[in-house]
Amino acid sequence: MATSLPLSELINVQLNVQPLAPSRRDFGVLNLMTPEAGHVFNDESTLYAEYATATAVEQAFGSHSATAQAARLFFAQTPRPKRLVVSRWVRIKRVLPATQSKLYGGPITATLEKLKALSAGYFSIKVGSALKSYSKINLSTANTHEEIATLITTQTSADKLTLRWDASGQRFIVEADQAGASHTLSLMNSDGQPLAVSSTPSYLGNLLKLDSSDAYSVAGTDAVTLEAQSLTAALSQLEARFNHWYALYVVHPLTDTQIKEAANWILAADKKILGLTTSTPQHLDTGPFNVFKQLADQKNERVVALYDKNNPYAVLSWLARALSVNFAGNNTTITMKFKQLPGVTPHPLTLTEANQCKALGINYYTYFDETAMVAEGTVLGGRFFDEVHSLDWFFDAVQKEVAATLQRSHTKIPLTDAGTHRLLAAVEKVCREGVHNGAFAPGVWRGDPFGHLHSGERLEEGFYVWADTVDRLSSSDREARKAPPIQVALKLAGAIHSADILVNFDR
């Protein structure tokens, strides 16, 4: 073909790749922090694990463990969030024993007869940096895969290696008899090639699938000492690795000092909640030495407390129900008052106890007439939890939506009134989501006036979003390319918790 000019000289087509928008946070993730190791926290690096069923937690920590008992209340609630995170707290110094290196082969495809036909098999294996070679391996007398493993082990045992047959996985596994990180196992060179020629019929590394693409090795570890850590140190360690959780419950009784430390850590964190169950009557006192009174006075609205005389994990059922809200749905926001707590036995309270709880914002689960229900659905200090939860969602959603608007624009958004309106539209989009899910609703604005909104004016949409003209920006803000401040008025939908009914009659 004769040389030609590219068609792009006439028509140039370019693809603008749309960047992914920042993902919104999940405000339904409960973090169950436990000092129990179970079968999960048996190495230095594992800080958390995720679970979808109570059975999975029982298998990981034991059916009689405190972690499993706590998780059962979470999974007994309906509806509830889909995710439960269990995280590690090294409350007491613990020594993790050294572990052995293992080399897991791929599923065997060679028949037993083919393996038995070998009378002079060979393979090599690296133990650490040392190369160990084995030859003249006779498998003709073997009748089972277990016997094959035993015959090969007669040669490898001198180097403290054992070959065993894994019937469930239909594979062979090589194990180092000595524990420690220096006894790693491999049938590969550093370039990823087999130590021996895999095409040779007598090469066992291939026949036993120890150097197949399905094979993998697990390095042994040296003994590790995990020093005891404070609760806040454990939280900070987890937060540095994994921070996609919203509510915290600690599977161990906490002292008043630990409660205050954990509550203050949560308060300083980015939109998180602490759940506590108390059976201590002194925690209902309004005296200055009560830690719950201290937190309420400090306006720590990040603590959900439940007074329950029998079940130390009762607040987990409360949290499971409260965190089940899907903010993307229609009329999905809830109030926690009137809700039931499956697995938790309601107990009678005196009016004095109930009033003490209300004064501090502590929840309780008791009978009203013959119906068991939660009261009052608040955080410490008396603010309703659904307000805190909904506003946490709103702040995050607005932040992510505005960031996505800036990020996903293929051209710059100009620092003009038209550019500002694009940001206003992003904020209004989230406001409408809040109206859709029931967090916000039309009503009279009683806050301070701003923009064109006056106090006492009705918010017909349930919200009002405003930004001043860029012409009033300071020179420094304009040079820093900073948009005018965006102000938002929100009318919370609230919820009906009580009613007075006046009956008039006439004879």
Mean pLDDT score, 203-220: 83
Burial class (CB in 10 A: 0-12, 13-18, 19+), 361: buried
pLDDT value for 210: 83
Tokens of 355: 């009033």
Percent of the chain past pLDDT 90, that is, above it, reads: 78
Residue with tokens 């949290």: 319
Q: Identify the band that residue 195 occupies on the pLDDT scale cut at 50, 70 and 90.
A: low
CA distance 315 to 363: 9
Residues 31, 52: Cα–Cα separation, whole Å: 13
Q: What is the DSSP letter of 388?
A: H
pLDDT band at 64 (very low <50, low <70, confident <90, very high): very high
Contact 47, 241 (CB under 8 A): yes
- DSSP single-letter state for residue 20: P
Residue 352 contacts residue 285 (beta carbons within 8 Å): no
Please name the residue that has the structure tokens 């073997």.
142
- CA 77 → CA 28, 65, 160, 201, distances in Å? 13, 20, 51, 60
The pLDDT-based confidence of 147 (bands split at 50, 70, 90) is: very high
Does residue 461 have a pLDDT over 90? yes
List, in sequence order, every beta strand (DSSP E) within 322-439.
Answer: 363-368, 371-375
Residue 3 has pLDDT above 90, yes or no: no
Written as six digits, the tokens of 229 are 């850590």
DSSP 278-342: E--GGGG--STT-HHHHHHHTT-TTEEEEE-SS-TTHHHHHHHHHTT--TTSSS----STT---T
Lowest mean pLDDT among 105-114, 148-157, 210-219, 398-407: 210-219
Q: What is the pLDDT of residue 330?
A: 97
- Tell me what pLDDT residue 199 has: 61
DSSP-derived 3-state class of residue 422: helix
* Lookup: tokens for 503: 């009956």
Number of alpha carbons in the 13 Å side-chain half-sphere of residue 107: 4
pLDDT given at position 48: 98
CA distance 369 to 371: 6
- Residue 406 host element (H or E): helix 385-408
Specify whether the CB–CB gap between 25 and 82 falls below 8 A: no
pLDDT at 192 over 80: no
pLDDT in tens, 301-311: 999 999 999 99
CA separation, residue 281 to residues 254, 258, 307, 309, 357 (Å):
15, 18, 9, 9, 10
Q: In the numeric block, which tokens belong to residue 200?
A: 């040779």
Positive/negative CA dihedral, 240, 242, 243, 245: negative
Q: How far apart are CA 410 and CA 422, in angstroms?
A: 14
Give the list of residues 6+ apart from residue 488 with CB closer than 8 angstroms, or none: 398, 427, 431, 463, 464, 465, 466
pLDDT score, position 193:
58
CA 445 to CA 443: how far, in whole Å? 6
User: Is the pLDDT score of 441 beyond 60?
Assistant: yes
Element (H, E) at 59: helix 54-61
Q: Give the residue among 437, 485, 498, 425 at the shortest CA–CA distance from 462.
A: 437
The token pair that represents 60 in the structure block: 């990981």
| Average pLDDT along the chain | 93
Across-strand partners of 298? none
Q: In which band, very low, low, confident or very high, does the pLDDT at 182 lie, cut at 50, 70 and 90?
A: confident
Read off the tokens for 499: 């009613």
Return the structure tokens found at 380: 């410490």
The answer to whether residue 394 scores a pLDDT higher than 60 is yes
Q: Angle formed by the axes of helices 231-241 and 256-268, to 10°?
A: 30
* Cα–Cα dist 467/451, whole Å: 7
Structure pTM?
0.86
- Return d(Cα 452, Cα 416) in angstroms, integer: 20
Give residue 423's pLDDT. Answer: 97
Q: Report the pLDDT value the prediction gives residue 246, as an integer from 0 to 100.
A: 97
d(CA 97, CA 55): 27
With helix as H, strand as E and coil as C, how does 216-242 read? EEECCECCEEECCCCHHHHHHHHHHHC
Q: Tokens 């940001």: give the residue.
A: 423
d(CA 204, CA 187): 11
